[in-house]
Structure 1
Amino acid sequence: MKNKSKLFTIGLVTSWYSSNIGVLLLNKYLLSNYGFKYPIFLTMCHMTACSLLSYIAIAWMKMVPMQTIRSRVQFFKISALSLVFCVSVVFGNISLRFLPGEPSFHLFGFIMCIAATAARALKSVLQGILLSSEGEKLNSMNLLLYMAPIAVVFLLPATLIMEENVVGVTLALARDDIKIIWYLLFNSALAYFVNLTNFLVTKHTSALTLQVLGNAKGAVAVVVSILIFRNPVSITGMLGYTLTVFGVILYSEAKKRSK
């Protein structure tokens, strides 16, 4: 049973890594190479897809039983998680506009990366509480079902205020190149899978493990990004990511010894 559980966890982490890096690279391509400079709208597309696909999976396909929100406090916790999640993703997407390659450096892009990382850490803790608290326990798919529409509510006014006429610009781009629509649809669907596997990894590991794995994922994404986008590599950047991988190894060893 232990071996099966370990293989299941490895499969979850692999799925999370693959889909996450796929979304990251496609976001990077859209925001940096393609010239689609609307990170908030892109995040809203992701959350809209998560809302629709979560409802289809739970209400229509009956993949898991639908759970209800039990209290106002639980609703506020889910809302807080949605807000923190929006901040982490939007800041991460904004950073891609200034850091077209992970090993590159831009001060504002760096600040956005740090802010996104801090928000992701807070999100992981809140997520862990909502997935494990006995009084307010929600399975991962139901949490995403309730979280995603709330995130859309937060993102819609931000998009309208900060990214004026984004719909008109997108339609104009689609008239010249229909592939932009397919990029957005595929990217949004993949984002649903990222969030689903993210919640499942949190449930089967811990918030701290998720954060450590997320940092290691950044190093893997760098290698893939360099191979695809041919980004320049600095010695300082490579030393930083080597240190990240070394930290992940130390954490893994410390966790083994604690058991």
Structure 2
Amino acid sequence: MNISLSGRLFTFGLIASWYASNIGVILLNKYLLSNYGFRYPMFLTLCHMMACSILSYIAISWFKMVPMQTVRSRVQFVKISSLGLIFCFSVVGGNISLRYLPVSFNQAVGATTPFFTAVFAYLMTLRREGWLTYITLIPVVTGVMIASGGEPSFHLFGFIMCIAATAARALKTVLQGVLLSSEMEKLNSMNLLMYMAPVAVLCLLPAALVMEGDVLGITITLARDDSSILWLLIFNSALAYFVNLTNFLVTKHTSALTLQVLGNAKGAVAVVISILIFRNPVSVTGMLGYTLTVFGVILYSEAKKRSKIDI
């Protein structure tokens, strides 16, 4: 009885930590990029990837949270590097979109990930889902179209970057299944992050220095005037890693399907909290569109679950 209760409390604590870190990093990204005026999304992503590189190595090598998995061949390294570049682009795109769009609309667009996953799965593997699964994607896309038309703070470039980031996340998921499909090449998410993050750092460092000017000098100057920016960046970067860590732990102690269901609810919670904090204007049309998208994602999850049961 006590063991069962403690196990449930532990799982609840993991889920609460995943929610808090996930929503927290989105809101803090928005605050830094938009409200605080730190308009350097590439450098911010670079900080995130550096934290993921260092902290994932510490978690695996020092704390033995999961067994260390080695890269076995040059081909496997190229595959992981490709995934790392796509992962990097998805995070950069998401951060750029947060500079122009409110969190509520950002989350609405992000909820269309299942649509892009289904499209890429078909194009790359010719894997067809059941007709019911494809039908459930209609409200997912329709909801975002409605939300876009009713969004008071709509910004075209921010919308394009948000769509690109969402598509990149879906592409990484499909490619991961294709490229690392053999038992010899499969990596758990923590080891994969440990190898992907340094690739992203090597890609982002020159890009940030070229495209965002003297961002290092500007950050140092800002830190001298107000040390809080330094602590915000450190906390934000650590939180970005904690999202990945809690994501892995929640999946390990529940299931991937449970994580998907919790993710749907997390998006809705993030929307409500962001509106309360940032007080961005919302329209009834926009909220109806977002609600329709979330409803479509829930139907999609149920259709996928049933198709697996039937098989």
TM-score (normalizing by structure 2): 0.73
Q: Does the C-alpha gap of structure 1 residues 228 and 92 become closer, same or farther in structure 2, counting only changes over 3 Å?
A: same
User: Which residue does the alignment assign to 1:205?
Assistant: 256
Matched residue SS, 1:233? coil
User: Which residue does the alignment assign to 2:245?
Assistant: 196
Which of 100, 119, 126 is equivalent to 2:168? 119
Matched residue SS, 2:72? coil
In structure 2, C-alpha distance between the alignment counterparts of 1:210 and 1:150, rounded to whole Å: 27
The offset of 1:131, in angstroms, is 6.9
Tell me, yes or no, if the aligned pair for 2:27 and 2:103 is still in contact at 8 Å.
no
Counterparts of 1:49-128 in structure 2, within 5 Å, are: 49-103=51-105, 104-128=153-177
Unmatched tracts of structure 2, length 5 or more: 106-152
Q: Does the C-alpha gap of structure 1 residues 216 and 108 become closer, same or farther in structure 2, counting only changes over 3 Å?
A: farther
Q: Does the C-alpha gap of structure 1 residues 215 and 78 become closer, same or farther in structure 2, counting only changes over 3 Å?
A: farther
Does residue 224 (structure 1) correspond to residue 273 (structure 2)? The answer is yes
Decide which moves more: 121-130 or 179-188: 121-130
Which of 180, 186, 191 is equivalent to 1:137? 186
Matched residue SS, 1:135? coil
Q: Structure 2: which amino acid aligns with 1:19?
A: S
Which of 150, 155, 170 is equivalent to 2:219? 170
CA RMSD of aligned residues (A): 2.8
Does residue 149 (structure 1) correspond to residue 198 (structure 2)? The answer is yes
In structure 2, C-alpha distance between the alignment counterparts of 1:164 and 1:117, rounded to whole Å: 27
TM-score (normalizing by structure 1): 0.86
Tell me, yes or no, if the aligned pair for 2:264 and 2:298 is still in contact at 8 Å.
no
Decide which moves more: 211-220 or 107-116: 211-220
The offset of 1:135, in angstroms, is 2.2
The offset of 1:9, in angstroms, is 7.9
Q: Structure 1: which amino acid aligns with 2:299?
A: L
User: Which residue does the alignment assign to 1:241?
Assistant: 290
The offset of 1:16, in angstroms, is 3.4
Residue correspondences, number: 254
Q: Does the C-alpha gap of structure 1 residues 200 and 81 become closer, same or farther in structure 2, counting only changes over 3 Å?
A: farther
Q: Structure 1: which amino acid aligns with 2:256?
A: T
Q: Does the C-alpha gap of structure 1 residues 87 and 256 become closer, same or farther in structure 2, counting only changes over 3 Å?
A: closer
Decide which moves more: 101-110 or 13-22: 13-22
Q: Does the C-alpha gap of structure 1 residues 126 and 212 become closer, same or farther in structure 2, counting only changes over 3 Å?
A: farther
Unmatched tracts of structure 1, length 5 or more: none
Percent pairwise identity:
79
Q: Structure 1: which amino acid aligns with 2:37?
A: G
The offset of 1:100, in angstroms, is 3.7
In structure 1, C-alpha distance between the alignment counterparts of 2:260 and 2:256, rounded to whole Å: 11
Higher RCO, Cα 8 Å, sep 6+: 2
Larger radius of gyration: 2
Matched residue SS, 1:69? coil
